Copies of this chain bind each other. A is one copy, B any other.
Amino acid sequence: MDIFEALAKRCSVRKYENKPVPREILEKLVDAGRRAPSARAVEPWEFVVVTDRGTLTELAKIATTGTFIGGAAACIVVFCQETKYYLEDGSAATENILLAAAGLGLGACWVAGDKKPYAEAVSRVLGAGPGLKLVSLISLGWPGERVSQNKNRPLKDVLHWEKI
């Protein structure tokens, strides 16, 4: 899929078909994530790909803003070493994965991790040590809902030439 088509089509999908996402596709998504830029090229990220139904159900219970993870085919959890710019780096990697998912016709949704009271519990379930910060949980699956058009703020409102 063309990059501009993927940018336009990406949107949050929270309902999924009861159908697995092949392992090679999940690898392709993580491969997209690791190609993100990072400050001073430290690449502080670690990606945990969860497909186990029991773990997905557990994550859905813990991550109160991501209850739909329980119905997802998979969840890619992005952790980063706590560097000065880990949140920028981990967010760029998350966005790469979301765009790659859109490019493959998958539905996905970014569930916040950083600053969430459930971050520690998610880390514990997935075996992430205290040096790793939870950045995001990306729920994934074949779309099980009709996806609404993005209603973004229009270009003329957000673009400022030379000065604000």
Q: A residues bordering B, Cβ < 8 Å?
A: 1-8, 10-12, 27-28, 30-37, 39, 43, 45-52, 55, 79, 84-85, 87-88, 91-92, 94-96, 98-100, 102-103, 110, 112, 114-115, 126-129, 132, 135-136, 150, 152-153, 155, 158-164
Contact = CB atoms under 8 A, between A and B. Distances in A.
B155 A27 contact: yes
Contact of A159 (B4, B27, B92): B27
Nearest to A96: B7
Given A31-B155, A49-B160, 16 more contacts: A3-B102, A3-B103, A10-B35, A27-B155, A27-B159, A30-B158, A35-B152, A43-B152, A43-B158, A45-B158, A48-B162, A48-B163, A52-B162, A55-B162, A91-B92, A92-B110
Contact of A158 (B4, B39, B47, B92): B47
Nearest to A45: B158
A164 B94 CA distance: 18
A87 B114 CA distance: 11
Contacts of A35: 7-8, 10, 150, 152
A7 B150 CA distance: 23
